[in-house]
A = this chain, B = another copy of it.
């Protein structure tokens, strides 16, 4: 039996232990392996709570995007800008720069500074953010070659004051948006007027402002949602169609940036995003227009490339519920508590034992500090460890020191 066959066999043993398993994240003889390393060893070496990231997985995710866009006919006409707000761990950014396969999407002057300190050049960075202060503009003015997407007419004027005669992008808002399960907390655009970008109603005023400052609008940027998977692709494409109107108003546009928002499965019933369908939609919309297509994935590159290593603190029945406590809370990985995006808990040791039902909870004194309700896990020993999958994006980068529980380790694996 080859190793792959063995992995497949073990994956079939228990359904609730299987949906998330893949070649670089699976059980081998009862021990969880990640990126070719025993997670039991990682727990010992890195410590808990600790984030481990697989650079191999990040690059696989990145290659998969490039390949899908190439195959759809956009070869040589697309770029990937990594949304560094998802995970700014310096070794990870440095390795991305080394790969030569992406630029950076930054949203604050400090992010630009950090990306540059990790090796990126200013002209590999695209900047998109709202509500910039005078201090922000002053800081940004240091970085020659940085590409600026204005999020407001005010932003066009502020940039024009500093860099009259250059190229800029405009972030537009099509007034439509999607998110995973219609999650309102992640809605960037839609029926309700949001702060993001410039709407149709104000777009001609925006173009006039750009003209006043001699700015060439060469890029239209729009972000239509967050965490979409295959079922959302038809709506996603209809939103892109709405954005064609903006491109048509503006002869100088050579680039279109469709933002990120590509989702990854969080629960067993989620299907992975069909990248072929996604790339074909982009090719259909922009392929015959000669436009260069930019995408800004954050989560898609790093989320499933990260694990949060945790130590079990206690197992105890409270009233009718079995609680399994761990040594970190939502403050170091806020998505499950604040965005209803569950992180599947996975035991480090597992050999087809019977499963029990637990609420996995953290150590923060707040009712919302629950990692996962009704998790199916094997009975665990007194000193045991588990991991949360999908902890690679918007976790450590959003961590706080709430309750002074903000300490954690981070390590980049090969």
A→B interface (CB under 8 Å): 48, 85, 88, 107-108, 110-111, 114, 128-136, 152-155, 173, 175, 184-188, 193-199, 201-202, 311, 313-321, 323, 325-327, 329, 331, 334, 338, 359, 361-363, 365-370, 383, 397-405, 407
Task: Select from chain B the residue with minimum beta-carbon distance to A201.
Answer: B319
Establish whether residues A187 and B367, one from each chain, have CB atoms under 8 Å apart when the complex forms. Answer: yes
Question: Which B residues are in CB contact (< 8 Å) with A366?
Answer: 186
Task: Select from chain B the residue with minimum beta-carbon distance to A109.
Answer: B404
A121–chain B nearest beta-carbon distance, Å: 19
Determine the distance from Cα of A175 to Cα of B173 in the docked complex, in whole angstroms: 46
Give the contacting residue for A130; candidates B194, B201, B363; CB below 8 A: B363
Determine the distance from Cα of A268 to Cα of B368 in the docked complex, in whole angstroms: 27
Establish whether residues A318 and B363, one from each chain, have CB atoms under 8 Å apart when the complex forms. Answer: no
Given contacts A110-B405, A131-B326, A367-B188, contact A361 B400 (CB under 8 A): no
Question: Which B residues are in CB contact (< 8 Å) with A153?
Answer: 316
Given contacts A128-B365, A198-B318, A318-B195, contact A400 B400 (CB under 8 A): yes
Total copies of the chain: 2
Establish whether residues B108 and A363, one from each chain, have CB atoms under 8 Å apart when the complex forms. Answer: yes
Question: Which B residues are in CB contact (< 8 Å) with A186?
Answer: 366-368
Task: Select from chain B the residue with minimum beta-carbon distance to A362.
Answer: B131
* Residue in A154, A318, A363 whose Cβ sees the most chain B Cβ within 10 Å: A318
Question: Which B residues are in CB contact (< 8 Å) with A334?
Answer: 400
Question: Which B residues are in CB contact (< 8 Å) with A316?
Answer: 152-154
Question: Which B residues are in CB contact (< 8 Å) with A202?
Answer: 317-319
* Residue in A130, A202, A399 whose Cβ sees the most chain B Cβ within 10 Å: A130
Determine the distance from Cα of A220 to Cα of B331 in the docked complex, in whole angstroms: 28
A199–chain B nearest beta-carbon distance, Å: 4
Determine the distance from Cα of A368 to Cα of B365 in the docked complex, in whole angstroms: 23
Establish whether residues A199 and B318, one from each chain, have CB atoms under 8 Å apart when the complex forms. Answer: yes
Task: Select from chain B the residue with minimum beta-carbon distance to A405.
Answer: B108
Establish whether residues B321 and A111, one from each chain, have CB atoms under 8 Å apart when the complex forms. Answer: no
Establish whether residues A185 and B367, one from each chain, have CB atoms under 8 Å apart when the complex forms. Answer: yes
Establish whether residues B321 and A193, one from each chain, have CB atoms under 8 Å apart when the complex forms. Answer: yes
15 A-B residue contacts at CB 8 Å? A85-B403, A108-B363, A108-B405, A110-B404, A111-B404, A128-B365, A131-B326, A136-B363, A152-B325, A154-B315, A155-B314, A187-B367, A188-B367, A193-B319, A400-B400
Establish whether residues B108 and A404, one from each chain, have CB atoms under 8 Å apart when the complex forms. Answer: yes
Establish whether residues A311 and B133, one from each chain, have CB atoms under 8 Å apart when the complex forms. Answer: yes
Question: Which B residues are in CB contact (< 8 Å) with A362?
Answer: 131
Give the contacting residue for A400; candidates B107, B194, B383, B398; CB below 8 A: B398
Give the contacting residue for A365; candidates B107, B152, B155, B323; CB below 8 A: B107
A403–chain B nearest beta-carbon distance, Å: 5
A330–chain B nearest beta-carbon distance, Å: 10
